[in-house]
Chain A
Amino acid sequence: MFLDLKTMCTRVRRDIIKMLGYANSGHPGGSLSSVELIVSLYFKHMKFNSRNPQDPKRDYFILSKGHACPALYAVLAHLKCFNIDELYTLRKTGSRLQGHPAKDRGLPGIEVSTGSLGYGLSVGVGIAVGMKQAKKSNKVYVLMGDGEQQEGSIWESVMAAAHFKLDNLCAIIDDNGLQIDGATKDIMNIEPLNSKYRAFGWNIIEINGHNLNEINNAYTKFKKEKNKPTVIIAKTIKGKGIHYMENLTEWHGKVPSKELIIKALKEIEVSSSMK
């Protein structure tokens, strides 16, 4: 099973690089660091029917770090929400795949427009409250970045989620340690994240965000949690999977040259054949 998820992660990484190459713009670093977290969620843990993405029984996924949308678009395409060729319309005239997720374009599987950081968690809190009120068991997942934790609005929603005892809400922090201007700890330190969330009344799970086994255990554990919201703090590597991008902040919003794209695709291919 994990082999399948692993293969899917490789395919999604390849798609991200190709999409960004065709678009000639976008955010490789934070898309690549999120891959395992999103793939595991959609292919193993979330209730999601790609034939009916608006199914009232679905679990909800909010990509608060909207700039990582190439990873989400690729996952949705592999789930057959839309034709995989549409991936290559990313950021182009008339595309449903906007530079940041746009609900109004009608791309199946996009719950809400995101891209301005710090908004997603409160949207998740609202959905989770709605599910509780309707006595429904749907889960709500919100993927955030680590830099995003600097936004004050995040902490309003962190407070509310614990206050309303939203055990149906799972926040995931793709903690790659880098933001546009440099290392998160240098720009505006957010650590210690675990004790901050704990102090607000959350259940904390800390994992390696590229280890599918640990990710699987974390999502499984979340689903059993009662009375508290859960945050999965996932240590990740920005640019994961492309050697020359890894842990370099310059690859936040830069697209590689043609030569470097070919190099990246080769590296992905080699690593997948080794598995």
Chain B
Amino acid sequence: MVEIFERKATRFGFGKGLVELGKRDPNVFVLGADTISSVAINNFKEIFPDRFLNVGIAETNLLGMAAGLAIAGFIPFVSTYGVFVTGRPWEQIRTTICYSNLNVKIGGSHSGIMVGPDGATHQALEDIAIMRCIPRMKVIVPCDFIETKKAVIASAYVDGPVYIRYGRENTPIFTKNDSYFEIGKANTLRDGKDVAIMASGTMVYESLSAAEILEKKGIKVKVINIHTIKPIDEKAIINAAKECGAIVTAEEHQIYGGFGSAVAEVLCKNFPVPIEMIGINDRFGESDYGANLMKRYGLNDISIAEAVLKVLKRK
């Protein structure tokens, strides 16, 4: 069994990271858009009320104001649901923030299909694709509560725009406070030479679990947590391809344009090996319990293990 220390939503890691940053740095300013409790930025508001503003249900102004605060010398963090914070103000993010290279940090909460009963309108499944295609934007998808906290703190100290994707549902905590974290550096969580599973966000835990299933069949699986989707750790991907000769990617996001595509771009250019991709296959989500949806849409350890068996046949 994969060791779990606790279950806690990554959104609380985001909120906790912000509070820590607020204590460290008087320039950290947080903006919300009417969803501040559900995206867990309300604690920052309580502790630092003079460095927090709620702009109401107005995402284009949310991102525009963040740009202004960055120009004024602050380190602005904005957050609301991932669909709304990346989709509606996409052009503000592209033209005002990234083209100007402004120091704005964007938190996309409620990511993935796990959001469940609210249905497709609220399930961010395209955010990685539309953020990673913008020049200068960095994209981080942390795997658990602890890693999300680390990502928030680290993002404040890299210059320029960063998108951090996190979630609402409770998910396993399986990294530790002293686990290594550096933006742009992948972490190998388990070693194996038959196949490498590369995963981001919620699918990292599922991949570790898949590796245990496969271990019982005598298949040695390497599991790599690629929390930074841009800039992606090309070296780690190429080395794993050379060592294992087959790759499975796993993400809670559309396959087109997402994390799997990013890995495939690296492999095609440098060291092509067979690759299978686990993710949402060009369709919208729907209402149901998150766990049911993860299973129905093939976003769990069993689906990943099946993809491994499939890719091994192509090796």
Q: Is B281 an interface residue, CB under 8 A from the partner?
A: no
The one of B56, B65, B92, B100 in contact with A103, judged by C-beta atoms closer than 8 angstroms, is B100
Closest to B66 in A: A126
Residues on the B chain within 8 Å of A115, using CB: 95
Is B71's CB under 8 angstroms from A126's CB? yes
The residues in A between 112 and 129 inclusive whose CB is less than 8 angstroms from any CB of B are 112-116, 118-119, 121-129
Is B61's CB under 8 angstroms from A157's CB? yes
Q: Is A186 an interface residue, CB under 8 A from the partner?
A: no
Is B96's CB under 8 angstroms from A113's CB? yes
The one of A56, A119, A128 in contact with B96, judged by C-beta atoms closer than 8 angstroms, is A119
Q: Is B187 an interface residue, CB under 8 A from the partner?
A: no
| Residues 56-87 of chain B, each 1 if its beta carbon lies under 8 Å from chain A, else 0 | 10101101111111111110100000000000
Q: Is A130 an interface residue, CB under 8 A from the partner?
A: yes
Q: Is A104 an interface residue, CB under 8 A from the partner?
A: yes
Is A129's CB under 8 angstroms from B71's CB? no
Q: Is B180 an interface residue, CB under 8 A from the partner?
A: no
The one of A60, A126, A152 in contact with B65, judged by C-beta atoms closer than 8 angstroms, is A126
The one of B55, B70, B95 in contact with A113, judged by C-beta atoms closer than 8 angstroms, is B95
Task: Give the complex CA separation of A134 and B68 in angstroms.
Answer: 14
Is A156's CB under 8 angstroms from B68's CB? no
Is A127's CB under 8 angstroms from B71's CB? yes
Q: A102-B99, A130-B74 are known contacts. Are A122 and B50 too (CB-CB below 8 A)?
A: no
Q: Is A153 an interface residue, CB under 8 A from the partner?
A: yes
A-B contact count (CB 8 A): 109
Q: How far is the CB of A115 from chain B (nearest CB, A)?
A: 7
Chain A, interface residues (CB within 8 Å), range: 20 to 34
Q: Is B51 an interface residue, CB under 8 A from the partner?
A: yes
Q: Is B53 an interface residue, CB under 8 A from the partner?
A: yes
Residues on the B chain within 8 Å of A129, using CB: 53, 65, 68-69, 72
Is A122's CB under 8 angstroms from B65's CB? yes
Q: A104-B101, A129-B53, A134-B72 are known contacts. Are A123 and B60 too (CB-CB below 8 A)?
A: no
Which of A123, A131, A156 neighbours the largest number of chain B CB atoms within 10 Å of its CB? A123
Number of interface residues of B (CB under 8 A): 30
Residues on the B chain within 8 Å of A157, using CB: 61, 64-65
Residues on the A chain within 8 Å of B100, using CB: 103-104, 112-113
Closest to A115 in B: B95
Q: Is B215 an interface residue, CB under 8 A from the partner?
A: no
Q: Is A81 an interface residue, CB under 8 A from the partner?
A: no
Q: Is B124 an interface residue, CB under 8 A from the partner?
A: no
Residues on the A chain within 8 Å of B61, using CB: 122, 125, 153, 156-157, 159-160
- By Cβ-Cβ distance, the 8 closest A-B pairs, closest first, are A126-B68, A122-B64, A130-B72, A126-B65, A156-B61, A156-B58, A103-B100, A153-B60
Q: List 15 A-B contacts (CB under 8 A).
A: A103-B99, A103-B101, A112-B100, A112-B102, A116-B91, A119-B60, A122-B63, A125-B64, A126-B64, A126-B67, A127-B68, A127-B69, A130-B74, A133-B51, A157-B64
List 13 other contacts, CB 8 Å, given A115-B95, A163-B56: A103-B101, A112-B67, A113-B95, A119-B64, A121-B64, A123-B64, A123-B65, A125-B64, A126-B72, A127-B69, A130-B29, A130-B68, A160-B65
